[in-house]
Chains A and B, each alone.
Chain A
């Protein structure tokens, strides 16, 4: 399974990551899961509502999340996963990320330092929650 995401949506994630630096950004990817490939049609920005330490933590308000889900349903799309940034840290999931991850979703992480995107990778939680498998990103 690969995650297909167009250049425009990648740029949107990169711009979001650079715009909120040194704080983490987050948002959702919506589109279609064809069975063999997840195709991202749009990315929607979320507000980072974590009370503190936003340079290393993000939280999407449950009400904003449910609004995203309803918006996706209305468009016959589904939420395929979540993106977020790691300011000055690698594009690899943390233990904290794993604790909060959900099975089946793609987790894109963009590593950002100032105005530079260092790396962007996508991860899938293993079924037994023991870790992640990297997911291929296709343009």
Chain B
């Protein structure tokens, strides 16, 4: 089964796991199975209309799936998908 690597800030929603083995033949299926097992992850990965959030990156090996076939990207046994948060910010637009 493919493995999904969970980034540090989301491990609290995945029973503390850093890596989870999931079924699925595509990246989308694997992520769907992941959130089925760990439902608390869903709101952090997907928007209300079930699209991956823009600040969530998913890599297959070293490649961003956006530049492969997106959620239709094939995954096989032994493949590693990594969920990688976009780490960004900046000073303009102050709030508390």
Contacts and interface: CB of A to CB of B under 8 A. Distances in A.
Number of contact residues on A: which range applies? Answer: 35 or more
Interface in A8-37: 24, 26, 28
Nearest to B90: A57
A63 B55 contact: no
Interface string A42-60: 0000100010010011111
A56 B90 contact: yes
Interface in B39-78: 44, 55, 57, 59, 62, 64
B22 interface: no
Interface string B6-18: 0111101000001
A28 B9 CA distance: 13
Main secondary structure of the interface of A (DSSP, over half): mixed
Nearest to A57: B90
Contacts of A72: 8
Contacts of B82: 66
Nearest to B8: A79
A62 B64 contact: yes
Contact of A103 (B9, B57, B88): B9
Interface of A: 24, 26, 28, 46, 50, 53, 56-60, 62-63, 65-66, 69, 72-73, 78-79, 82, 84, 86-87, 89-90, 92-105, 107, 131-132
Q: Ordered nearest first, which 9 A-B pairs have the shortest CB separation?
A: A102-B9, A95-B93, A57-B90, A89-B91, A86-B91, A60-B87, A97-B89, A62-B84, A94-B93
Interface of B: 5, 7-10, 12, 18, 44, 55, 57, 59, 62, 64, 82, 84-96
